[in-house]
Amino acid sequence: MKIHYFCTHWGNQLPFQKFCKNAVNAGYNGVEMDLPLVKKKRNEIVETLADHGLLLIGQYWQSLEKDFNLNEKNFKKHLYNLAEVNPVMINTQTGKDYFSFAQNMQLVNAAKTIAAETGLSEHTAFKYIRGVKVPTDYPENEEDWRRDVTGFLEVAIWKGTRRLAQESMAFIDDRSLPVAVAVLTDKLATIKGQPTSIHLAMTASVNHRDLMKDLKERDVTPVNDEQTPDLV
């Protein structure tokens, strides 16, 4: 297996020829960078890389539009533009946090289609969603995603609590143990469908007539303002 080292062009302010020369002298095998949509400028960059014996990883990040349709249009445009120069791979930052799950999956599927059309591997074009690497068996729709995540969480909770019961208590210090037990008790009650807190409230109202009647029955002498001037 041969390992190639790529130098990112991100943040570079040197003339491109100088940048490529420095990358070669530093021992890099290639460069990771985005490419302009203007084909003449794009091709000049690709030729310069080739002149220095440098490979290319195409980089996509440019579509920052919040309008989904416009973002999708430019997303495809940039991927096709990168694919045309036959890069080693394309590192695509697919999707946005402000798009819905369905919209992000639409962009992912667009990347898969472009990969098939251009001959790039799916691993190349279908690489990231919201900045996280996506496996090839990632769910195609939100319903499947929720089902899978629910199942994974159930298994993780089961394994975690089993390990906690078997091992972890010995490593919790005396000051933290009561807090840990309290939290676990609360979570256990939730799982069992039991209340985690109980709130009681009582209100009472009485009118003046009933109050005076009650005081009279108890043989209590009412106190008027003249008798307790300092307390009123």
Name the phi and psi angles at 133, rounded to 5: -65, 135
Which pLDDT does position 147 carry in this prediction?
85
Same domain, 48 and 73: yes
**Are 176 and 126 in the same domain?**
no
* Same-domain pairing of 101 and 57: yes
The verdict on 117 and 74 lying in the same domain is: yes
Please check whether residue 225 lies inside any domain of the structure. no
| Together in a domain, 15 and 63 | yes
Pair (147, 129) in one structural domain? no
Does residue 149 sit in the same domain as residue 127? no
Query: Which residue, among 83, 86, 28, 29, has the nearest Cα to 60 in the 3D structure?
Result: 83
Whether residue 204 lies inside any domain: the answer is no
In-domain check, residue 200? no
Task: Specify if 155 maps to a domain.
Answer: yes
pLDDT of the residue at 209? 82
Question: Distance between CA atoms of 121 and 90, rounded to whole angstroms?
Answer: 10
Q: Would residue 227 count as lying in a domain?
A: no
Opening angle at CA 73, ends 68 and 78, nearest 5: 120
Q: At what angle do helices 101-118 and 142-166 cross, to 10 degrees?
A: 110
> In the prediction, which pLDDT does 9 show?
93
Total domains present in the chain: 2
User: Cα(115)–Cα(80) distance, rounded to whole angstroms?
Assistant: 9
- Do residue 126 and residue 61 come from a single domain? yes
Range of the domain at 91: 6-133
Q: Could you tell me if 53 and 165 lie in one domain?
A: no
Judgement on whether residues 29 and 85 belong to the same structural domain of the protein: yes
At which of 133, 151, 178 does a domain end?
133
| Same domain (yes/no): 51, 162 | no
The verdict on residue 208 lying in a domain is: no
Q: 62 and 79: one domain?
A: yes
What is the domain-level CATH number for residue 73? 3.20.20.150
pLDDT of residue 122: 53
Euclidean distance between CA atoms 193 and 27, whole angstroms: 62
Domain boundary residue, one of 94, 111, 133: 133
Residue 61 maps to a domain: yes
Question: Is 53 among the domain residues?
Answer: yes
Tokens standing for residue 189: 């009650």
Determine the straight-line distance between the first and last CA of the chain, rounded to whole angstroms. Answer: 94
Q: Distance between CA atoms of 174 and 12, rounded to whole angstroms?
A: 53
Q: Which residues of the chain have pLDDT under 50?
A: 124-132, 231-232
